[in-house]
Homo-oligomer: A and B are copies of this chain.
Amino acid sequence: MPAPLLSKEEVLDRLMRTFREHGYDGASLAELSAATGLGKSSLYHYFPGGKVDMAKQVLEHLEAALEKAMFEPLRSNKTPEKKLSAMLDTLSAFYDGGRLACLLERLCASVDRRSFRRPLAKMFDKWMRAVEGLALEAGLPKTVARSRAEDLVVRIEGALIVATGAGDTKVFARTIADLRTSVLACPRT
């Protein structure tokens, strides 16, 4: 670790930002080096496995960050509605209102995607289970809760793509707004 420079946390944050902006395939070692202020040799010191290693560690770093910012608050004793709303606020901030891409998506689409298979599947599962738990807490039947959770993740990932493609972040904002009311709504009879 650079004594006076960046902490490993900060290094991982900057690597994540670079992967999210340029994509995994699009991010070169030169860019990753510039983003962190670490020379290539230093990068290889911390990440002996090169780019794949960086992405794996960034993924673990993200998991820890989400645990704190998104999953832990779900264990409070607030109402499910408030907790859902807090999660959506966190997500909206994390994606900067639809301007920043999702790391999971970037890695899913990479040439080295096989290397990230397990951790990616685990992350998606964790996210969906968290939302499912919230829906169960709100009194929804198990099958409905599951599909609502799946739908939340699907729509957020999709909204990020469409916002980018259509060049309009409002798509993302509308999706978040709709999820705020639809995820825990009573099923139609």
Contact = CB atoms under 8 A, between A and B. Distances in A.
B150 A162 contact: yes
Copies of this protein chain in the complex: 2
A30 interface: no
A157 B162 contact: yes
A105 B23 contact: no
B165 A108 contact: yes
A121 interface: yes
Interface string A154-186: 111111011011110001001100100000000
Contact of A121 (B104, B106, B154, B165): B165
10 contacts: A26-B110, A105-B161, A108-B164, A108-B165, A109-B164, A124-B162, A124-B165, A125-B166, A157-B162, A161-B161
